[in-house]
Amino acid sequence: MTSPDPRAPRDQASWAKPVDRLTTTASGAASDTVTGRRVAGPVQGFGQLWQKSFAVRIPSDEHSPEAVVAHWKERFPTFWPRGARFYAPLAGISPGEVALLEVAPVPGSPVKMSTGVMVIYVDHESFTFMTPEGHALAAWITFSAYRDGDDTVAQAQALERTSDPLVELSYLLGANRANDGFWEQTLANLARSLGVAEPVVQSTRVCVDKRRQWRYASNVRHSPAVHMTVSTLTAPARWVRRRRVTG
């Protein structure tokens, strides 16, 4: 067994290594739209930059911040609202792992979008996901816990831009608020699982950058909604072509 390098920064084991293209060990999702894609964070997004925070208080005499984060990591998929699915990678939430997701583009929609996240950072009190190209958001989201008085505060903090002009339009039409609701429900579910009968989730939302990054408008080429639409519209032409080849 080798001993750790004493000169290595103490955050070294917490960070994922950079990768050019993503691969995943997660299984069970209807499709994998992540493999071969690159990660894309707030720098690569199109829309306005939002900083969001969702927090819930949990009595700390029963649950330390480290225990809350360990519980959150271990049972992460179970806290998501109904209809959204998180397919964890084989190694769980560990640096460099890639999870697959199925989420409704609009809450309540029967249509599900397949996407994923890369785990870029994990320590005892936090873990952070980064989105891939093709995800509706170009974002980092950090899940953490800290002590505040007699409570442990569990929180999710997102730094996000919408990926392309179509998603930005949907954000203006209400998807931004719906996205907030997703995380509010998640935090409430986490708190309930730790014995909080009536969790109160505090939310803050700040627009850090009102400008849109038009040089990234072409991200729309990665959009699953666009791919789905094009595929649907061209289906008759493909059917006719197949008939000619086989006929």
Partner 1 sequence: MTDTTIDVSRDGPTAILRVRGEITSGSESALMAAYGQAAGAKAVVLDFASLEYMNSGGIGLLVTLLVRAQRDGQRLFAVGLSEHYRQILALTRLDEAIAIHDSETAALAAASA
Is there binding between residue 107 and partner 1 (CB under 8 A)? Answer: no
Contact status: 130 vs partner 1 (CB under 8 A): yes
Would you tell me the crossing angle of helices 65-74 and 176-193 to the nearest 10 degrees?
Answer: 110
Is residue 205 classed exposed, middle or buried when 0-12, 13-18 and 19+ CB atoms within 10 A define those classes? middle
**Distance (Å, rounded) from C-alpha 178 to C-alpha 175?**
5
Q: Is 145 in the site for partner 1 (CB under 8 A)?
A: no
Residue 38 structure tokens? 């690159």
For the chain, how far is it from start to end, CA to CA, in angstroms?
Answer: 65
> What SS3 class is residue 51?
strand
Query: x-or-dash pattern for partner 1, window 159-198, by CB under 8 A?
Result: x---------------------------------------
209 sits near partner 1 (criterion: CB under 8 A): yes
Identified binder of partner 1 from the candidate list 4, 6, 9, 236, rule CB under 8 A: 9
94 binds partner 1 (CB under 8 A): no
Residue 44 interacts with partner 1 (CB under 8 A): yes or no: yes
Rule CB under 8 A: is residue 113 a binding residue for partner 1? no
Other C-beta atoms closer than 10 Å to the C-beta of 28 total 9
Contact status: 128 vs partner 1 (CB under 8 A): yes
- Contact present, 160 and 182 (Cβ < 8 Å): no
How big is the site for partner 1, counted in residues (CB under 8 A)?
34
Q: For binding to partner 1 (CB under 8 A), which residues are involved?
A: 8-12, 14-19, 38-44, 49, 51, 120-121, 123, 126, 128, 130, 140, 142, 144, 157, 159, 208-209, 211
